[in-house]
Amino acid sequence: MDKTILPGSTIGIIGGGQLGQMMSFCAKEMGYKVIILDPQENCSAAQVSDDQIVAQYSDVDQLVELAKRCDVLTYEFENVDAAAINEVKKYTQVPQGTKALKVTQNRISEKDFIEANGFSTVPHVVIENIFEYHRGVEKLGAPVILKTIRGGYDGKGQILVTDPENVCYADIEHLLMQGPCMLEKKINLEKEVSVVVSANSKGDKSIFPIIENVHRHNILHLSTCPAQISEKSAQHIYNVAETLAEKLELVGTMCIEFFISDEDEVFVNEIAPRPHNSGHLTIEACNISQFDAHIRGVCNLAMPQVELLKPAAMVNLLGQHLEPAKKELSQHPEWHFHDYGKDAVKENRKMGHITILSDDLEKTKQAIENNSIWDV
Ligand code: ADP
Ligand code: MG
């Protein structure tokens, strides 16, 4: 059983992006010391932490160095090497373990795991070459989406095939050269939603209210809470969250993404074994945030019952949105403005977000829709 880690102790975080930064804010507030391991000097998380080890995530010597300096180790992204985690476990406790990592790092094992627990995924086939691609398209029926098995995020490593007669085979071959791929039926989406769930080593859980998500170009654009879905779908989604958290032996925070089809079927899309972009609104909207819950979980503290204090909307600030949003900030007392402090501003890179608490979410969504900042 993992020890309880009390304030004053040191938390090591592998990964120094915005998720690590927001974890660090919460840890520091409670009185923990935080050390970040990230290859980029002065990364987002290092800016708000006690110290940083500048090293690649695969550098086992430096991971061991981090482990020796920490009372507990956590990671903020899913592409950490499970073997490296097992190595550093000799030096400190890593309560998140590697089960959730191993299952979710690979779209095949992820979908198999979801189905083995009795939950639906979208119709899909695994393909390894262009012949299997053709057979897959025939079986599923267009439109389909081809996805890499590993390492995809924000729609990267995906090809949408709307018309199978008219595709760029070079693009498909290029994805297949990276290894087996997942071919998925493209669902007519009524809604996308997500649920964040956190747990400590005793298995006590905090489950957050369901969040509704709108993507643009496969990148999360807008999240709102509470989600406008049927009671039946909500019950099902909370059941999935509880079951998968238990089966993955969850410690810390994870998020499950769902598709709701236009025929009101609920499919599990994917699982992120870490805090999630859609959960950022919990910082202002709930009694504890997904990051507080993560720190409580990995430190084996008590897990509170989550309450939504006020409905909220969160809109992402990508590279092209950051400067225009800053220019308008002084006109918006309702904006909770988050800038992750990344030095390289790139198009479509997540640079920050804005959360707005509101009793009239429709009006708030309309205001975001009408604001030209998010036209690009
Ligand atoms: P990522 O790892 O990039 O988040 P996802 O599989 O979640 O990959 O895909 C990103 C987005 O693309 C989804 O949130 C959804 O909007 C759209 N999408 C992906 N797969 C499907 C599908 N099978 N049917 C309909 N939309 C999909
Ligand atoms: Mg996704």
3-class secondary structure per residue, 13-45: EECCCHHHHHHHHHHHHHCCEEEEEECCCCCCC
Banded model confidence at residue 210, pLDDT cuts 50, 70, 90 = very high
Picking from 185, 202, 227, the residue at the C-terminal end of a domain is: 185
Q: What is the pLDDT of residues 330-339, one digit of tens each?
A: 999 999 999 9
Query: Is 245 a pocket residue for ligand 1 (Cβ < 6 Å)?
Result: no
Query: Is 155 a pocket residue for ligand 1 (Cβ < 6 Å)?
Result: yes
Residues in the chain: 376
Domain that holds residue 79: 10-94
Query: Is 109 a pocket residue for ligand 1 (Cβ < 6 Å)?
Result: no
DSSP string, 85-124: HHHHTTTSB-TT-SHHHHHHTSHHHHHHHHHHTT-----E
Question: Atom 5 of ligand 1 has which residue's CA nearest to it?
Answer: 155
Percent of the chain with pLDDT over 90: 94
Question: Atom 17 of ligand 1 has which residue's CA nearest to it?
Answer: 218
> How many whole angstroms separate alpha carbon 290 and alpha carbon 255?
9
Percent of the chain with pLDDT over 70: 100
Region 14-32 average pLDDT: 98
Q: For position 171, which CATH number holds?
A: 3.30.1490.20
User: Cα 124 from chain centroid?
Assistant: 22
pLDDT of residue 157: 85
Same domain, 296 and 281: yes
Q: For position 51, which CATH number holds?
A: 3.40.50.20
Same domain, 234 and 337: yes
DSSP character for 358?
-
Query: Is 78 a pocket residue for ligand 1 (Cβ < 6 Å)?
Result: no
pLDDT of residue 259: 98
Q: For position 338, which CATH number holds?
A: 3.30.470.20
Mutate to test the pocket of ligand 1, among 145, 162, 175, 277 (most ligand atoms within 8 A of CB): 145
Same domain, 352 and 364: yes
Mutate to test the pocket of ligand 1, among 188, 193, 218, 261 (most ligand atoms within 8 A of CB): 218
Same domain, 238 and 259: yes
- Looking at the domain assignment, is residue 107 inside a domain? no
